[in-house]
Amino acid sequence: MPLKYSRRFGAGCLLTLLMIPGLLGQEGKTVAITERLGNSVTLHTGVTGLQNDSVIVWTFGTSSPPPTIAKSVYGRIETNISERFRERLQLDPQTGSLSITNISTSDAGIYQLHIINGQILKREFTLEIYYPVNRPHITSLQASRRSSVHLSASGRCWVLCFVENGRDVTLSWYRGTERLNQTSSPDLSTSLSLRLEIWEDSPVYSCVATNPVSKEAAEGNIKQLCAELGPSPTPRIYVIPAVLIPTAMILTGSIYLIYKSKKSRKIEGKNVQL
């Protein structure tokens, strides 16, 4: 049964009760929130219509008991309890929701809410802070034109996309809206890189870097990235006849002239004998 309370309990006694681990009350699932560094975030309680005789307490951290960072006791709101959050907290007395402005990486962690309003209500939030992902860059690698490609109407080349790695960063290649490949790595000391083999000058390709809170894309024009792309040179199967036909004609002509010369000499020799 929910724990009832009376106004005869002092505020200090109520706050002490809230800090007791395992105290009976309505407890929901832990809410996971991710946010971008420098943004503002609100921890929504899902509660409405709290009265001035309610007691609202927010704590932060994993120590036992965790320190109080904001509270509202019978309508009196305090949000500058913790030096860490000074001038950065706003507490809504009607919902119990807590807003944090200009968040930093040190604000990541566990936030717990306790509300006494005829019964005890508990909520827990985990806040993760991410840096915005960096913009990826695209460059072309050495173009490749193998004999098997020479027979097609277009060439191919390799392009490389790279970005500075970060927590939960994924790098992907897209052709239009179709994702072609992707990569990620837990090793934050190295950059992420992803190659793509381009076969034709078709739609716009884009390289996209994402993390849970941001997205950056670098689009590349295939004609600019792979200057060698375009109509292939004359296929080799046609190059060979183009070279041999004139040579064959010269050889044939020479043989014919030699044959004609020898034939003329034989005729002249017969005439002399006669």
Q: For the chain, give every domain's residue range.
A: 11-130, 137-225
- Which of 190, 192, 189, 185 lies closest to 218, judged by CA? 192
- Rounded CA-CA distance 188/191 in Å is 7
Q: Which of 75-89, 115-129, 190-204 has the lowest mean pLDDT?
A: 190-204
Q: Is 270 left (phi over 0), alpha (psi -120 to 50) or beta?
A: alpha
Q: How far is CA 120 from CA 27, 38, 65, in A?
A: 9, 33, 17
The confidence band for 38, taking pLDDT boundaries of 50, 70 and 90, is very high
The burial class, CB within 10 Å (0-12 / 13-18 / 19+), for 154 is middle
Band (pLDDT 50/70/90 cuts) for residue 181 is very high
Q: Is the peptide bond before 241 cis (omega within 30 degrees of 0)?
A: no
| pLDDT tens sequence across 193-211 | 999 887 665 667 889 999 9
pLDDT score recorded for residue 62? 92
DSSP string, 217-273: EEEE-HHHH-TT-SSPPPPHHHHHHHHHHHHHHHHHHHHHHHHHHHHHHHHHHHHHH
Model pLDDT for residues 68-80, shown as the tens digit of each residue: 999 999 889 999 9
Fold of 137-225: Immunoglobulin-like (2.60.40)
DSSP state string for 25-71: SEE-PPEEEEEETT--EEE--------TT-EEEEEESSSSSPPEEEE
The pLDDT of residue 189 is 92
Retrieve residue 108's tokens. Answer: 């990541």
Question: pTM above the 0.85 mark?
Answer: no
**Is 11-130 in CATH node 3.30.830.10?**
no
The predicted pLDDT at position 144 comes to 43
- Under the banding of pLDDT at 50, 70 and 90, the label for residue 255 is low
The percentage of the chain sitting over the pLDDT mark of 90, rounded to a whole number, equals 49
pLDDT classification of 151: cutoffs 50, 70, 90 = very low
Task: Share the mean pLDDT of the chain.
Answer: 77
- Residues with Cβ within 8 Å of residue 71, at least 6 apart in sequence: 15, 55, 56, 57, 58, 77, 78, 81, 91
